[in-house]
Amino acid sequence: MTITGDAPVTPDEPNEPRPVGELPDAVRQRIVEWAADALSNAAAAEIPVALARVARFAPHKRARVAAVALGQAVQNDGAFRVLVAQRAVGEDVPPDEDPVQAAARAYLLRLPEEDVLLQVAADVDRRRDARARVVELEREVRALRAELMAATAELGRSQASANQPPPDSEPALERLRSRLRDQGSRIRELQLAVDTAAAGTKEALANLTAERDKAKALAEMWRQRAEASTARADAAAQQLQRLRESAGDRRGASDRRLELLLGALEGAASGLRREWDLIGGGAAPADVVAAGLPQQASDAERTTDPTRLAAWIGLPGAHLIVDGYNVTKTGFPGLSLSDQRDRLVRSLGALAARTSAEVTVVFDGAAVATARPPARGVRVLFSPAGVSADDVIKDLVRAEPTGRVLVVVSSDKQVADTVRRDGARTAGSAVLLGLIAG
């Protein structure tokens, strides 16, 4: 279902996707195939750790040897689920043409009709199984009929060629007749089973047709609701624009009157300052007393809460300084050092774009011979030979003016204690990882 404008809010949408193990077999197989194919175009940082080993395989081999891992990644990894959903969107097939594909796509996109389509796909599975059973029974009936015909022919040949039957022909003939009776009974039983299976299949097909019609009606209802919601949103936006324009005109006149009044007050205050010859400057009395008190580290200068760290970075003029390898070896130690640097710098670039904060990341660089990772909005520094990244971080903090918001991210206690004494706020590596992952 394609909806233009603002997407409708689906009522009672679950917070977590349905477990992959509860999906019909055909739907689960289709999702696994899409997931295996999506790995071919995924960047290294977008591949879940559990799938890194099979990422180099061909898609059909991934789907065969790592079906469980692919299903779990789709269920539990939101970013990977988005990649697979993008792969599924390219195969938009009406539900009545391929119910299995439609159900898999609805599961990935979390469409409102997901439950209905999954039920239809499950019924299609059962119907296919029933048809396969009917075909198998019919094949067995044909084989038994052929065997019966062969036995009948053999009996006819025996009767025609036996002018004088030998003394032991009667027991053999009785055994043959008994065998024919058994085969006839078996044929009747199989025919009954075929008829029963055919009747069940016909009934299941009728039920599936009714449920398909019901699903179409439900989808049409959701489409109409979406169009109505879009129309209401457009009308509200137009009304809000008119109110803003009207309020802007009234506020313009009020602001002009206030501007004139403030100008008069500023002129009067400036005249009094010149007349009284006031001299500004000097510290406030309370600041003088506070400066003489012993300084103590406060919990206000360090945090373990990603939300509080985000609030610090969002303050005007904030400068975020990150101990690079201390963060990467905590968050993704399985990657190479080059991949660790690239992944951290990309994440910090996105954070800098959201917060407008100045961001500096420092790596130990004595043994680094590669180029600096690409960084937009992020200053990347490597410590020179004989100097550690911790010393560079301390120098950066001391170089900043007193009063600027400085936030240092490092789980090294010595570094954190030192920069707090110099006026910086601190957070552990896990706090930053929680912020950029969210």
84 and 194: one domain?
Answer: no
Q: Are residues 36 and 123 in the same domain?
A: no
3-state secondary structure 297-316: CCHHHEECCHHHHHHHHCCC
324 lies in a domain? yes
- 79 and 52 share one domain: yes
Q: What is the pLDDT of residue 107?
A: 83
Provide the pLDDT for residue 428: 95
Average pLDDT for residues 368-383, to the nearest whole number?
Answer: 77
Two tokens, residue 277: 């010859």
Residues making up the chain, counted from first to last: 438
Range name among 117-131, 320-334, 373-387, 416-430 with the lowest pLDDT average: 117-131
Query: Is residue 355 included in any domain, yes or no?
Result: yes
The pLDDT, as a whole number, for residue 175 is 85
Residues 77, 48: contact at Cβ < 8 Å? Answer: yes
Quote the pLDDT of residue 10: 39
Q: What is the mean pLDDT of residues 139-145?
A: 86
Q: Which residues contact 75 (CB under 8 A, 6 or more apart)?
A: 17, 19, 20, 81
Residue 324 predicted with pLDDT over 60: yes
- Is the model's pLDDT at 334 over the cut of 90? yes
Q: Which of 210, 225, 240 is the last residue of a domain?
A: 225
User: What average pLDDT is seen over the chain?
Assistant: 82
Contact assessment for residue 434 and residue 306, using Cβ atoms and an 8 Å cutoff: yes
Q: What percent of the chain has pLDDT over 90?
A: 26
Residue 291 lies inside a defined structural domain of this protein: no
Asked if the structure places residue 251 within a domain, the reply is no
Domain assignment present for 249? no
Kindly report, residue by residue over 75-101, the tens digit of the pLDDT.
888 888 888 888 877 666 565 567 887
Residues 220 and 349 in one domain: no
Tell me: do 361 and 407 sit in the same domain. Answer: yes
- Report yes or no: 71 and 80 within 8 Å, Cβ to Cβ: no
8 A C-beta contact, residue 324 and residue 363:
yes
* One domain for residues 141 and 98: no
**pLDDT (tens digit per residue) in 36-81:** 888 887 887 788 888 888 878 888 888 888 888 888 888 888 888 8
User: In the structure, what pLDDT confidence band is assigned to residue 297 with cuts at 50, 70 and 90?
Assistant: very low
pLDDT at 136 over 80: yes
Q: Choose the final residue of a domain: 225, 240, 258.
A: 225
The confidence band for 398, taking pLDDT boundaries of 50, 70 and 90, is very high
Higher pLDDT, 151 or 6: 151
**Final residue belonging to a domain, choices 72, 93, 111:** 111
pLDDT at residue number 167: 58
- Could you write out the DSSP letters of every residue in 363-392? E--TT--SPPPP-SSEEEEEPPTT--HHHH
Q: What CA–CA distance (Å, rounded) separates 47 from 343? A: 12
pLDDT tens-digit readout, 408-436:
999 999 999 999 999 999 999 999 999 99
**Is 274 inside any structural domain?**
no
User: What CATH number does the domain containing 400 carry?
Assistant: 3.40.50
Indicate if 334 and 422 belong to the same structural domain.
Answer: yes
Q: Where residue 293 falls among pLDDT bands split at 50, 70, 90?
A: low
pLDDT for 319 equals 96
Residue-wise pLDDT tens digits, 217-248: 988 999 898 888 888 888 888 888 888 887 77
Q: Point out the least confidently predicted range of 183-187, 271-275, 312-316.
A: 271-275
Q: Are residues 106 and 192 in the same domain?
A: no
User: Is a pLDDT exceeding 70 seen at residue 392?
Assistant: yes
* 428 within a domain of the structure (yes/no): yes
The single-letter code of the amino acid at 210 is A
Query: What's the confidence (pLDDT) of residue 230?
Result: 85
Query: What are the two backbone dihedrals, phi and then psi, of residue 143, each rounded to the nearest 5 degrees?
Result: -65, -40
What gap in Å lies between CA 8 and CA 189, rounded to an integer? 56
How far, in Å, CA of 341 to CA of 331, rounded?
12
pTM of the model: 0.36
**Which residues span the domain enclosing 100?**
20-111
Confidence of residue 35 (pLDDT cuts 50, 70, 90): confident
Q: Is residue 164 pLDDT above 60, yes or no?
A: no
Residues 191 and 306 grouped into a single domain: no
Domain contains 271 = no
Mean per-residue pLDDT for 392-416? 94
pLDDT for residue 159 is more than 80: no
**Does pLDDT of 176 surpass 80?**
yes
Full 3-state SS string of 160-207: HHCCCCCCCHHHHHHHHHHHHHHHHHHHHHHHHHHHHHHHHHHHHHHH
Residue 126, pLDDT score: 79
The answer to whether residues 202 and 99 belong to one domain is no
Domain count, the chain: 3
- Lowest mean pLDDT across 108-112, 151-155, 239-243, 369-373: 369-373
Instruction: Tell me, yes or no, whether 184 and 204 share the same domain.
Output: yes
CA-to-CA separations, 199 to 121, 126, 140, 194, in angstroms, rounded? 20, 14, 19, 9
The per-residue pLDDT for 92 is 61
Residues 316, 349: one domain?
yes
The half-sphere exposure of 222 on its side-chain side, counting CA atoms within 13 A, is 19
The confidence band for 12, taking pLDDT boundaries of 50, 70 and 90, is very low
